[in-house]
Amino acid sequence: MNATEPNGTPLPVARPVVIGRRKRKLPPLARWARLLLVLMALGLIAVFVVAAWIRPYDDDGNAAKIATHTQLGMEPCSMVVLTGKPCPACGMTTSFSLLMHADVANSLRANWVGTLLALAWLALIPWGIFGAVRGRLLWIRRGEFWLTVGLSILFALMIARWAVIFFG
């Protein structure tokens, strides 16, 4: 029974006030999306296994700054060969490898953007596995937007780092 005033008129019913937008649950992921998350995690694990396998040090124990990718049978960077200056991606493989050898300082010296990328990719491994098992993406809404923002920031940092090295 509703409460009334002494004169018999019903009292207004209080309703909860919602401030901001209500969070809506995302629908469960399709099987193909869950499979892609597992494949992404496995691919990233493979990248880090290779990075750990590469030797980022010379015979004297000094950390390399670039060109560790040549241990994988790849050619030296064409830009370094032609200009003597590194390209925007120079040192990425080396920074990943140094990070996997727990040499953070030299990883940052080789290519600090590569170190940031490696840390982001390391975080994606448990995120992808957890999302695949749970069936929902963790902490992500508007994924395409955030992927675009993240890639844009990465490329801007790569170009900024390269410009400082190339022109500085």
pLDDT in tens, 31-64: 998 999 999 999 999 999 999 999 999 999 999 9
Q: Residue 107 corresponds to which tokens in the numbers above? A: 């990883």
pTM higher than 0.85 for the full model? Answer: no
**How many Å apart are CA 38 and CA 42, to the nearest integer?**
6
pLDDT score recorded for residue 95: 96
Inter-axis angle of helices 104-134 and 92-100, nearest 10: 80
Q: How far is CA 151 from CA 89, 122, 129, 147, in A?
A: 14, 16, 21, 6
Looking at the DSSP bridge assignments, the partners of residue 152 are none
Q: Which of 39, 62, 66, 59 is nearest to 128 (CA)?
A: 39
Residues 41 and 17: their CA atoms lie apart, in Å, by 42
